[in-house]
Structure 1
Amino acid sequence: MNPWKTTRLTRRALGAAAVAGTFAAGLPAAAEAAGRPWSDRADGFASLPGLGRGPTTGGAGGAVVTVTTQEDLNAYATAADPYVIRVAAAIDIAPRGTEIRVASNKTIVGVGTSGEIVGGGFFLAAGVHNVIIRNLTIRDTLMPEDDPDDKQFDFDAIQMDTADHVWIDHNTLTRMNDGLIDSRKDTTFLTVSWNRLWENNKTFGIGWTPNVTSQMTIHHNWFKDTVQRNPSADNIANLHMYNNLLQDVSAYGNYVRGFSNGVIENSFYERVHNPYYTIDGELVQRGNVTVDCTWDDGLVTSQGEGFDPRDFYDYRLDPARAVPALLSRFSGPQPGIGT
């Protein structure tokens, strides 16, 4: 039997359920971004109901608090009640590599460009849901003694283990000793948008599960000066990547692994080795631009039927050649968010 077909009925069922509750978020397209405030509502798969909950609203409806210390950040992030947690300073995390455990129904947002998590990150355990991590700089847990493989110290910026309904938006994630984002096990209803993922070895890993149930949207992210996992996406039922920018990537770019079903649209790749490919999965790619890229012989860059993301949600594509200028201006923390 064709291995792609083993999960197609599951994908169709997921699609039918999603269409019944589609939630239009409406992030700005290139022509509108400068003159329109950023939406505070998630788009993509994070905007959809599923698993008896959703869409992703974070701590909306809960108290709004402002934090400048690790103690206060930890207290509100781990609380049972919903909170909108405004990070208004650079917070040094101790001990180094600590990942603050985030409970359900939380928004953690930087105030303008002032919110930073330095020397630590966030962890979402199994069952955690409805979380927004937005407009932050999360940086600097590198351990020089762990070079070159980053295997001894598992210090991630954001790690999720079977979480759901998560929106990671407008952050700068850089120089972490393991992953910038690790979406592990069966994490689903995830949207990762408008982030800068820079200067890292293991950038964005997805998988660590035999199940093919997860649904993810990855759009308008800037991967720069990275090595591997940009992302490496294993066993994703529906993976939609569009309008991403990859520059100076040395090992590989978008790797659609296992039985993943991937669609890549209107992305821009510059000086990337193996910009996009699959082995066993389905991959439909269209509208992408590659500049000064290199490819290994025999890579499969298109295979299978894919899926139509518009069966799940509405979205607007920017032209691939507009992506570098667009992300140079509008990715990462923005002055108007969280204020």
Structure 2
Amino acid sequence: QQFTLAADGSGKYRLVNRSSGKCVDVPDYSKVSGVQLQQWGCAGQTNQQWTLAASGTDTFQVVNVNSGLCMSLKDASTASGAAVIQETCTANSNKQWAFRSVSGRTWSDKADGFASTGGGTTGGAAGSTVTVTNYADLVKYATATEPYVIKVAAAVTVTPYGHEIPVKSNKTIIGVGTSGQIVGGGFFLGTGVHNVIIRNLTIRDTRMTEDDPDDKDYDYDGIQMDTADHIWIDHNRIERMNDGLIDSRKDTSYLTVSWNVLGEQNKAFGIGWTDNVTARMTIHHNWIHDTNQRNPSIDNVAFAHLYNNYMQNVTSYGNLSRGASKTVIENSYYQSVANPYYVDTTAASLTQTGSICVSCTGKQQTNGTTFKPGDHYSYTLDPAADVPALLKQYAGPQGNIGS
């Protein structure tokens, strides 16, 4: 029953359910009065966009951008389970809505995990703060040599389609509340790029259906890192990209990936593309749902610490420790996951404690000895049983970050 108002610019909003992460949607772009509303994957289309028209003291009419009709309780019902529909706008009370804020957590602006070690990760904190609402300005500041905190306050469409914006060192790219989106493209952090924070953004929609099922022809990632270091990826929603949602490649290290929603994808999160065994990374409090492979696949990582992650509806495999990786898994929750965790060679090690598997199939395999994450940094574990509800509420973009 909790929704986030996600700004799409020009007074338009999406209504995003906090539990499902899906948007209130008018089916099939209907303009017919009486059509029942539904929830659907968020795509920034006009049948999912709404304007708010003040209609009384602290109340509003919620008007669909596509149809021009108002959100309404059918027949002015007061019964639980009554349908919510769109109807011609009138002053009737069943078409007036009040918005009540819900108290939530506050979030540190300091990186944790391995991104906090080896000198730490501060992004563009040493530079100026700028706010962008268009692609040209985003590229201008992301590719600059100077440090910047770049606040993204609108849905920014990338051109050409699928392009990964090359981010330079010492940058923070952060969404303002839930308004910041990167549509039709992503980010690339190349060799030598360091000290970058990507936070509180929705990055979405470069899927090429003609490239299914393997997605090999169009290498459109959400975030790709090649030999980068000191990177913090936090509180993002990354969905429906053609290749990987996140790729950490070629010895990228001192990486923390936290509180993200990764979903509706073939390949979620690939790690490796190297024969060296030097990388250090922390992956915690991520909700990975409706994916197939690489959740993540961890190849030749010296220290991989995964905790309090939620894997849901995974069809190929969950956490895979490959090569000579040392992988520690703690207090995670696997629901309807094939092969929740295992190793693919005797050289790879994996230890697991405190996790829960529900309706899972296939391998739950540990191997060898790993390391103690607490020797590198401090952290607090949430009980595994609490993880699904916790991440459904708090993973992905938050209204009180970046605003």
TM range (shorter): 0.7 to 0.9
Alignment of 1:172-191 (within 5 A): 172-191=237-256
Q: Aligned equivalents of 1:303 and 1:148: distance in 2? A: 32
User: Cα deviation per residue 1:1-34 (whole Å; 9 max; x = unaligned)?
Assistant: xxxxxxxxxxxxxxxxxxxxxxxxxxxxxxxxx6
Mark the CA change 1:300 to 1:337 in structure 2 (over 3 Å): closer, same or farther: closer
Q: Which of these residues, 112, 119, 131, is aligned with residue 43 of structure 1?
A: 112
Task: Give the C-alpha shift of residue 279 in structure 1.
Answer: 2.5
Alignment of 1:9-158 (within 5 A): 36-49=105-118, 54-158=119-223
1:312 lines up with 2:376 in the alignment? yes
Matched with 2:391 is 327
Matched with 1:292 is 359
Q: Aligned equivalents of 1:163 and 1:61: distance in 2? A: 19
SS in 1 for 2:382: coil
Task: Give the C-alpha shift of residue 35 in structure 1.
Answer: 5.5
Q: Aligned equivalents of 1:157 and 1:149: distance in 2? A: 17
Task: Give the C-alpha shift of residue 303 in structure 1.
Answer: 1.0
Tell me, yes or no, if the aligned pair for 2:288 and 2:311 is still in contact at 8 Å.
yes
SS in 2 for 1:100: strand
SS in 2 for 1:114: coil
Q: Which amino acid aligns with 1:272?
A: V
Q: Aligned equivalents of 2:253 and 2:374: distance in 1? A: 18
SS in 1 for 2:385: helix
Q: Which amino acid aligns with 1:67?
A: V
Task: Give the C-alpha shift of residue 36 in structure 1.
Answer: 4.4
User: Cα deviation per residue 1:90-123 (whole Å; 9 max; x = unaligned)?
Assistant: 0011110010000000000000000000000000
SS in 1 for 2:115: helix
Which structure has the larger Rg over C-alpha atoms?
Answer: 2
1:199 lines up with 2:268 in the alignment? no
Tell me, yes or no, if the aligned pair for 2:331 and 2:354 is still in contact at 8 Å.
yes
Tell me, yes or no, if the aligned pair for 2:339 and 2:364 is still in contact at 8 Å.
no
SS in 2 for 1:152: coil
Q: Which amino acid aligns with 1:265?
A: E
Matched with 1:303 is 367
Matched with 1:22 is none
- Give the number of the structure whose residues are more often helix, by fraction: 1
Q: Aligned equivalents of 2:402 and 2:364: distance in 1? A: 42
User: Cα deviation per residue 1:126-170 (whole Å; 9 max; x = unaligned)?
Assistant: 000000000000000001111111000000000000000000000
Q: Which amino acid aligns with 2:207?
A: L
Matched with 1:337 is 401
Q: Which amino acid aligns with 1:90?
A: A
Provide TM-score, normalisation by structure 1. 0.87
Q: Aligned equivalents of 1:110 and 1:35: distance in 2? A: 18
Tell me, yes or no, if the aligned pair for 1:279 and 1:300 is still in contact at 8 Å.
no
Q: Which amino acid aligns with 1:72?
A: D
SS in 2 for 1:46: helix
Q: Which amino acid aligns with 1:48?
A: T
User: Cα deviation per residue 1:223-263 (whole Å; 9 max; x = unaligned)?
Assistant: 00000000000000000000000000000000011100000
Tell me, yes or no, if the aligned pair for 1:278 and 1:300 is still in contact at 8 Å.
no
Tell me, yes or no, if the aligned pair for 1:99 and 1:156 is still in contact at 8 Å.
yes
SS in 2 for 1:61: coil
Q: Which amino acid aligns with 1:309?
A: P
% identical equivalent positions: 66
User: Cα deviation per residue 1:166-222 (whole Å; 9 max; x = unaligned)?
Assistant: 000000000000000000010000000000001000110000000000000000000
Matched with 1:163 is 228
Gaps of 5+ in 2: 1-102
Matched with 1:275 is 340
Q: Aligned equivalents of 1:139 and 1:251: distance in 2? A: 22
Deviant stretches of 4+, over 4 Å: none
Task: State the aligned residue count.
Answer: 299
Q: Which of these residues, 276, 284, 287, is aligned with residue 222 of structure 1?
A: 287
Q: Aligned equivalents of 2:225 and 2:366: distance in 1? A: 29
